[in-house]
Structure 1
Amino acid sequence: MTPWLTDAALAPVPTEALPIGANGLRFHNGALWVSNFNKGTLLRVPVTTTGAPGPIRQVAGSLPNIDDLSFLTPRSDVVFAAQNGSSSNNGTDRVVVIYPNGTYKPVLTSADGLASPSATAVRGNRLYITDGGVPVPHEPKLQTSRINFPALLAGTAH
């Protein structure tokens, strides 16, 4: 195996309880999209025609414990991302929608039954979420929710 890209933006924060850097990864619209768990960032790395990485661009920040991600549609750069606060006791358990301009808003939280969400997937008008069940009572599960497309595409927050 050969390193394809190394950069401080991908590195973990060694002083964190769980020093996890680059975590979620998706190839989408000619780029690799990467989450950094400790730094709370969503990054976009264009892939050149030769397969080399282009410059890293931070799409969003201030998202502690951002885990895996998925896209609203195959052409859209609107992202669903899990934030797994239970795994490090550093943040909240929630799923956020992240817009291409870097703004984001929570769409599901622990009040909706999330317990250490770690991944999201979209199929049609459904969002699927893996819940690790880290906090007591330790009940891992898969959850689903209907996507309200007009509401998501109408506005941004934060």
Structure 2
Amino acid sequence: MAIYVVMEPPAGNKAEDLRFVRDSFTWLGFLVAPLWLAWNRLWIEAALTFVVMAILSVVGERLGLEWAGSMLSLLVSLYVGFEGQGLRVAALRRRGWREWGVVEAGNLGDAEMRQALEAGDDDEEPAAMPRIVPDASLARPPQTGMALGLTHTPGRP
């Protein structure tokens, strides 16, 4: 079973505008990190990844440690592979999208079906919460007349 993060658009609440982001390792993000990031419209992350990988390759060649530059570039690719979907969710949040919730399903179609069923349950009015402070109309009426204690009654010494 896979876990999908469901994101709602900033304006409107249409079910067809929802985005389902699978929370998993992304192989394309690992194999071609800058291209995968650019494909998913993560422009700043794509440019930063490209620059970091280029700098690591150049520094590795200049120092005569090509294998070290390659290994560090591999670490950058691993990071994108593991955190790429999280970067997509963060980019959607920056653009004003809201997180509707999380759905567990076998594939995207099942995830859409489960989300639609769960969203249908939200239309019903939730059960009323018990009152912590009692209603004032249910309180006893104020007592008039004689009272015991250290109170002064008008007209009495």
Q: Same fold (TM over 0.5)?
A: no
Larger-gyration structure (1/2): 2
TM-score by length of 2: 0.22
Higher RCO (CA < 8 A, seq sep 6+): 2
Larger strand proportion, structure 1 or 2? 1
TM-score by length of 1: 0.22
